[in-house]
């Protein structure tokens, strides 16, 4: 080996070592992060395909958006049970996964369940619309906004758990689902019209808001639904919702 070749090989080895050191740094800094290595592999063993501004992990598409990542969908016909990761280290930068994008999983025909990350702040419009095989959904505490028609016409959806920091539920967000009960945290400020419309199986609505939410999204089938509200708020709720539910009960 001549001198020039020796130095070239040495440089390659040094760069590889630096890259491995950088990847190890991120692994040690945040064990919840999936690190995409310099050779395009995911450190947690997920199936990985990386592009310039995006990465697929187990067939789920994540795209860089400013300082965070947005979930943009999945490849057709993949596993019915999907897991969204909270953090991704991509090209030397750690990104937090904060959104499910507009129409990301719309009309997915095989998804039964999805595990959402604790970092999720927003579910955009139509994100899960017409996912008819989706059965349950549990929203993390970080989620503040659910967009219009986000879960609309998810006809198989029977159970929804809302996080502690939810603020806004968009128009028809849960239209025509099979949910039987809902329990909303005190942080909710806005429920847009039709958010729970055509939910024929809905029987119980519990709200922790001491001030009734703006707009009229708590509308439900008058003959079926009992609305449970905080003590001392009966008059405020009765003035708005008396004709929209079967009964209003303080608890």
- 219-236 average pLDDT score: 86
Computed over every residue of the chain, the mean pLDDT equals 88
Average of per-residue pLDDT across 84-97: 96
Q: What is the per-residue pLDDT for 213?
A: 87
CA torsion through residues 233, 235, 237, 243, sign? positive
pLDDT for residue 16: 45
What pLDDT score does 246 carry? 87
Contact criterion met (CB below 8 Å) for 42 and 62: no
Q: What is the pLDDT of residues 38-51, one digit of tens each?
A: 899 999 999 999 99
Lowest-confidence pick of 58-62, 69-73, 211-215? 211-215
pLDDT at 188 over 80: yes
What is the pLDDT, as a whole number, of residue 224?
87
Q: Which is higher by pLDDT, 15 or 207? A: 207
Predicted local confidence at residue 89, as pLDDT: 96
pLDDT at 241 (0 to 100): 84
Residue ranges of domains in the chain, CATH in brackets: 30-250 (3.80.10.10)
pTM of the model: 0.88
Among candidate residues 182, 174, 144, 140, the one with its CA nearest the CA of residue 157: 174
Q: How far is CA 165 from CA 65, 74, 160, 183, in A?
A: 23, 27, 15, 13
């Amino acid at each position: 080996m001549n001198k020039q070749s020796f130095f070239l090989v040495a440089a390659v080895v040094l760069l590889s070592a630096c890259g491995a050191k950088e990847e190890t740094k991120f692994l040690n800094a945040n064990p919840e992060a999936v690190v995409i290595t310099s050779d395009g592999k995911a450190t947690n063993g997920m199936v990985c395909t990386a592009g310039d501004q995006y990465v697929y992990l187990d067939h789920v598409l994540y795209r860089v958006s400013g300082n965070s990542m947005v979930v943009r969908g999945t490849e057709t016909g993949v596993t019915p049970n999907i897991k969204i990761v909270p953090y991704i280290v991509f090209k030397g930068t750690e990104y937090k996964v904060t959104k499910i994008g507009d129409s990301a999983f719309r009309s997915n025909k095989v998804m039964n369940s999805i595990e959402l990350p604790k970092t999720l702040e927003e579910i955009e419009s139509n994100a899960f619309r017409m996912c008819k095989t989706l059965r349950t959904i549990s929203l993390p505490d970080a989620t503040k906004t659910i967009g219009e028609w986000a879960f609309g016409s998810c006809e198989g959806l029977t159970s929804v758990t809302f996080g502690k920091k939810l603020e806004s539920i968009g128009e028809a967000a849960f239209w025509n689902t099979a949910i039987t009960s809902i329990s909303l945290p005190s942080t909710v400020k806005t429920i847009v019209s039709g958010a729970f419309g055509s939910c024929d199986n809905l029987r119980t609505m519990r709200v922790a808001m001491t001030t009734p939410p703006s707009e009229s999204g708590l509308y439900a089938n008058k003959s079926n639904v009992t609305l449970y509200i905080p003590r001392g708020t009966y008059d405020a709720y009765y003035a708005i919702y008396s004709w929209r539910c079967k009964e209003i009960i303080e608890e």
